Amino acid sequence: MARITSFEQYQEQYKKSVDNPEAFWAEQAEQFTWSKKWDKILNWNFTEPKIEWFAGGKLNITENCLDRHLPEKADQVAYYWEPNEPTEKAVQLTYKQLHEEVCKFANVLKKNGTKKGDRVCIYMPMVPELAIALLACARIGAVHSVVFGGFSASALSGRIQDCDCKIVVTSDGAYRGAKAIPIKAVADEALEICPGVEKVIVLNRTGSEINMVAGRDVLWEDEIKMVNADCPAEQMDAEDMLFILYTSGSTGKPKGVVHTCGGYMVYTHYTFENVFQYPSSGGVYWCTADIGWVTGHSYIVYAPLLAGATSVMFEGVPTYPDAGRFWQVIDKYKVNIFYTAPTAIRALEASGLGFVTPYKLDSLKVLGSVGEPINEEAWTWYHENIGKGKCPIVDTWWQTETGGILISPLAGITKTKPSFATLPLPGVQPILVDEKGNEITGNGVEGNLCIKFPWPSIIRTTYGDHERCRQNYFATYPNLYFTGDGCKRDEDGYYRITGRVDDVMNVSGHRIGTAEVESAINMHIDIVESAVVGYPHDIKGQGIYAYVICTNSKKDAETLRKEILAEVTKMIGPIAKPDKIQIVTGLPKTRSGKIMRRILRKVAEGELNNLGDTSTLLDPMVVEEIKAGAIK
Ligand code: WTA
């Protein structure tokens, strides 16, 4: 089926996808290489839940990402890799070269004992070898679990243990902006409590002295010399696991979201081509996310390769060496489609137009936004100053659990409206419900966002704990997938995501659970209890506000604050450090002992005179103290 090219076609396809979803997605799936056709297009129920797309079909996603393109695109660039340091040599990989590197590294994984179904943890900076490592796992049917390079040893070991990884792929260090960051040292610390890990493959990125553990550690560059580039793709069932990606929820530790091979392939490819209007909007695409997050998995690695696109992959940060870096890179590679996060847009806006005007930016055709709600001001700045008023902005709403974009304009086709993700993509059936789960019909309404029918890349399970998956996403409202987001539907039927309605924060586009931060803070010896909430932050979207009760320590507030930040950095990583810490003697609790977060959120937002009903509190005086000590 061809790409949608007009709004009428969108409406037709949408209708078709709802009237007959199976026929709709089967038609999409036909274009790929399958070594055996599926037995059944869709099996599903949202009660267990059990969802299977294209079951019985056999394929390998890397054949579709790589081999399939070789006859026509062998010499086309798959990735332009732009290093952190502008003066360092950039690297480019054609489809042929990428295919070769993936096959070689797949053989390295095999040589080191990796088998189909084994879990491989990948903890690396944004270098081409990161994409190669993911694809090499997929080539041999191993399941990758990528951990963002900014996570701490403690966070890393938790993820390695949870899915029982046998192999870890990492690097000596990483460059991010002006900093060189240790990676191997963090991995070594994590591995002290991960006896299940048999082999560690280390890439030398920064040329540092590497501490190699005998019998366990091998060097990427040595291993790669010992293998050839012949690696037949393992044929996978469409419902075999492709990867696990950990993400924060409202309670407990991060959970391992599981995606499978067939449906994920079909859906990410479909959304990439339609949302960004690839290739008619141009062939060079740049998504600035890190592959450690789902955006990078779906829209740096899999979807662009499935579509045969040319991508830019960037190692650094938007503000190094200065706040013009993104714009300089766009001009350098003549980027046509640019996909970034609102937090980056706001930070660059704050740096001033002086960093934008030196660049032409005339190659740009489509701009994208992802990860958090984009406020109207940032949207307008992006539209006017980067897109020069002529590039449509696709505000793409989706989640780790959805695998691909669910609600978004189609570039140049759907009329946009600042801060609206606009309309559901074909195959996506959103509904708004009230607290009790009753559907809220009509337009000009607001409610909790659910989806009532499976799309091909919906979460299948949470690794090792299917009940948790059911509880988290399918138990709140019977027969609906619950997103955890609040949402408005305006008079035109356009969707606007208002943010999380659960205890998940979104800080600079990073998903962080309040419970995780609290448990990290509580590790501090002087802390008795803590409560963490998000509050509006000009650049980050949300900041983290922590209320802490401490023992009678003689420590001054500043020392305590620094120690808490160190504790959170140690347990999770610097991205989860609270912006504000208020020391309190009590927390507002109900008689049954539940913390009333609503009140804490209001105080953090600075709405001190609008706290709502506090009569059910055990000790209303606590609120007065909290108000008096609130940090502005
Ligand atoms: C939020 C990132 C508003 C939302 C792809 C969601 C957004 C969470 C948007 C998922 C958007 C993502 N507008 N909010 N365009 N995109 N979100 O799993 O709250 O890291 O539930 O996936 O980010 O974050 P995750």
CA-proximal residue: ligand 1, atom 10 (nearest): 399
**Which residues on neighbouring strands pair with residue 171, listed in sequence order?**
203
Pocket test for ligand 1, best of 398, 428, 540 (most atoms within 8 A of CB): 398
Name which residue sits closest to atom 12 of ligand 1, judged by CA: 371
The CA 500 to ligand 1 mean position distance, Å, reads 9
Task: State both tokens at 18.
Answer: 């709802």
Tell me which of 247, 399, 510 to substitute to probe ligand 1's pocket, judged by most ligand atoms within 8 Å of the beta carbon: 399
| Distance in Å, CA 170 to ligand 1 centroid | 27
> Does ligand 1 come within 6 angstroms of the Cβ of 514?
no
Residue 12's DSSP bridge partners are none
Alpha helices of 226-275 — where are they, by DSSP H? 261-275
What is the helix (H) or strand (E) element at residue 496, kind and residue range? strand 495-500
Confirm or reject: Cβ of 408 under 6 Å from ligand 1: no
Instruction: Give one word for 207, left, alpha or beta, with left for phi > 0 and alpha for psi -120 to 50.
Output: left
Does residue 421's CB lie within 6 angstroms of at least one atom of ligand 1?
yes
Please report the pLDDT score of residue 251 as a whole number. 86
Other Cβ atoms closer than 10 A to 555: 13
Q: What is the pLDDT of residue 612?
A: 83
Whether pLDDT at 613 is above 90 = no
pLDDT in tens, 57-94: 999 999 999 999 999 999 999 999 999 999 999 999 99
Side chain identity, residue 184:
K
Q: What's the pLDDT at 1? A: 65
Cα dist from 222 to 81, 108, 459, 609, whole Å: 22, 10, 37, 65
3-state secondary structure 38-89: CCEEEEEECCCCEEEEEECCEECHHHHHCHHHHHHHCCCEEEEEECCCCCCC
Closest residue by Cα to atom 11, ligand 1, is 397
Contact call for residues 570 and 152 (beta carbons, < 8 A): yes
Q: Is the pLDDT of residue 552 over 90?
A: no
How far apart are alpha carbons 259 and 298 in whole angstroms?
Answer: 11
Asked whether 598 and 613 are in contact (CB, 8 A), the reply is: no
**Predicted confidence (pLDDT) at residue 276 exceeds the cutoff of 90:** yes
Mutate-to-test residue for ligand 1 from 287, 397, 400, highest number of ligand atoms within 8 A of CB: 397
Alpha carbon 158 to chain centroid, angstroms: 18
Which residues are registered as beta bridge partners of 346? none
Answer yes or no: are the C-beta atoms of 572 and 158 closer than 8 Å: no
Q: Please work out whether the CB of residue 399 comes within 6 Å of at least one atom of ligand 1.
A: yes
CA–CA distance from 494 to each of 383, 404, 421, 454 (Å)? 19, 19, 7, 21
Q: Is the Cβ atom of 118 under 6 angstroms away from ligand 1?
A: no
**Cα(45) to centroid of ligand 1, in Å?**
25
Give the DSSP H or E segment for 181: strand 179-182
> pLDDT value at position 232?
98
To the nearest 10°, report the CA torsion of 552, 557, 558, 562: 60
- Ligand 1 atom nearest the C-alpha of 497 is 3
What is the arithmetic mean of pLDDT over 286-309? 98
Quick check: CB of 497 below 6 Å from ligand 1? Answer: yes
What distance in Å separates the CA atoms of residue 138 and residue 129, rounded to the nearest whole number?
Answer: 14
Dist CA 313 CA 308 (whole Å): 15
The answer to whether 248 touches 78, Cβ cutoff 8 Å, is no
Q: Which residue has a Cα nearest atom 14 of ligand 1?
A: 372
The CA distance from 64 to 460, in Å, is 22
Q: What is the pLDDT of residue 252?
A: 87
Supply the pTM of this predicted model. 0.97
- The pLDDT of residue 615: 82
- Assess contact for 191 and 197: CB atoms under 8 A: yes
Helix, strand, or coil (residue 470): helix
Phi and psi at residue 264, to the nearest 5° = -60, -40
622: pLDDT strictly greater than 70: yes
Atom of ligand 1 nearest to the CA of 421: 15
Residue 484 Cβ inside 6 Å of ligand 1? The answer reads: yes
**Distance from residue 541's CA to the centre of ligand 1 (Å):** 12
Q: Mind listing the pLDDT tens digit for each residue in 283-297?
A: 999 999 999 999 999
pLDDT score at 508: 95
Which three-class secondary structure state does DSSP give residue 180? strand
Tens-place pLDDT, residues 29-58: 999 999 999 999 999 999 999 999 999 999
Query: Does position 205 have pLDDT exceeding 80, yes or no?
Result: yes
Q: Which residue has the tokens 């002087």?
A: 526
Query: Does 507 sit in the ligand 1 pocket, CB within 6 Å?
Result: no
**For the residues 418-446, what does the mean pLDDT come to?**
97
CA distance linking residue 348 with residue 326, whole number of Å? 9
Q: What is the pLDDT of residue 610?
A: 84
pLDDT at 592: 87
Query: Ligand 1 test: best mutation among 483, 485, 516, most atoms within 8 Å of CB?
Result: 485
- Residue 33 DSSP SS3: coil
* Buried b / exposed e along 433-449 (16+ C-beta atoms within 10 A): beeeeeeeeeeeeebbb
Q: Cβ distance 194 to 157 under 8 Å?
A: yes
Computed from CA positions of residues 524, 625, 575, 157, in that sequence, does the dihedral angle turn out positive or negative? positive
pLDDT mean across residues, the chain? 97
pLDDT in tens, 107-148: 999 999 999 999 999 999 999 999 999 999 999 999 999 999
At 353, is the secondary structure helix, strand, or coil?
Answer: helix
How far is the CA of 272 from the CAs of 177, 230, 299, in angstroms?
A: 29, 30, 7
Residues 307-329, mean pLDDT to the nearest whole number = 98
Q: How far is the CA of 298 from the centre of ligand 1 (A)?
A: 14
Q: What is the pLDDT of residue 82?
A: 98
Residue 467: partners with Cβ closer than 8 Å, 6 or more residues away: none
Does 294 sit in the ligand 1 pocket, CB within 6 Å? yes
Q: Is the pLDDT of residue 617 over 90?
A: no
Per the CB < 8 A criterion, the answer to whether 280 and 470 are in contact is: no
Burial per residue of 278-287, b for 16 or more beta-carbon CB atoms within 10 angstroms, e otherwise: bbebbbbbbb
Tell the residue nearest (CA) to atom 22 of ligand 1: 399
Q: What is the mean pLDDT of residues 483-489?
A: 98
Q: Ligand 1 centre and the CA of 375: distance in Å? A: 14
Beta bridge partners of 546: 532, 581
Atom from ligand 1 closest to the CA of residue 396: 15
User: Given a cut of 90, is residue 281 above it in pLDDT?
Assistant: yes
Cβ 108 vs Cβ 100: under 8 Å: no
pLDDT at 495: 98
Tell me how far the alpha carbon of residue 456 lies from the centroid of ligand 1, in angstroms.
Answer: 19
- pLDDT score recorded for residue 239: 98
Query: Which of 486, 285, 269, 270 has the alpha carbon at shortest distance from 397?
Result: 486
Ligand 1 near 396 CB (within 6 A): yes
How confident is the model over 361-366, as a mean pLDDT?
A: 98
Q: For 343-463, where are the E strands, in sequence order?
A: 366-370, 393-396, 430-433, 445-451, 461-462
Q: Range with the lowest mean pLDDT among 107-116, 215-224, 382-391, 590-599?
A: 590-599
Question: Vertex 525, ends 523 and 529: CA angle to 5°?
Answer: 65
Contact 432, 490 (CB under 8 A): no
Q: Which segment of 170-179, 197-206, 550-559 scores lowest on mean pLDDT?
A: 550-559
Label residue 614 by pLDDT band (50, 70, 90).
Answer: confident
| Mean pLDDT along residues 254-274 | 98
